[in-house]
Amino acid sequence: MDQNNPSTSQTKMGVLAIEKRKYPRFSVELPLDYSRVNGKETYGGMVANASEGGLLVYLPERIEIGSLLKIEIFYVGGLELNTIKAVGKVVWADLAARESWGEHRYGLQFESIDEKDFNRLTTLLKEVGK
């Protein structure tokens, strides 16, 4: 194996170790309401971490990868309760995580988020990141 050749597997392994995330994640514990985009039922869940690109959430039911969810995150800003609304797509699922609690862990990628809600999200993440 030629160490000067950038196509060696050793070099590729180093590249794979680089952080793949586009946005930094911040640990949070925030309540969330969600419903399927075409559904009427609303359920509660918990946001475990957040970034400008998506969320790690714990939800009480199994949801197919690729499903779109209307989400509303609740948080306190100053003395008032604020919300961030968005549509998220389930991009991965971990059905083994905390299943004894009846919870399933999902990665949601933001599909659409209003500029006002995105600004609230970025402000919230800056506060959490301090």
Q: What is the pLDDT of residues 95-127, one digit of tens each?
A: 655 555 457 899 999 999 999 999 999 999 998
Q: What is the dihedral of CA 45, 49, 55, 61, to 10 degrees?
A: -30
Write down the residue that tokens 């939800």 correspond to: 59
Q: Which domains does the chain have, with CATH numbers?
A: 23-129 (2.40.10.220)
pLDDT in tens, 39-80: 899 999 999 999 999 999 999 888 999 999 999 999 998 889
pLDDT of residue 103: 78
Ramachandran class of 7: left when φ > 0, alpha when ψ lies in -120 to 50, beta otherwise? alpha
pLDDT of residue 130: 76
Tokens of 121: 């999200």
Residue 4 binned pLDDT confidence (cut-offs 50, 70, 90): low
CA-wise closest residue to 34 among 24, 44, 21: 44
Residue 129 binned pLDDT confidence (cut-offs 50, 70, 90): confident
Beta bridge partners of 22: none
The pTM score is 0.78
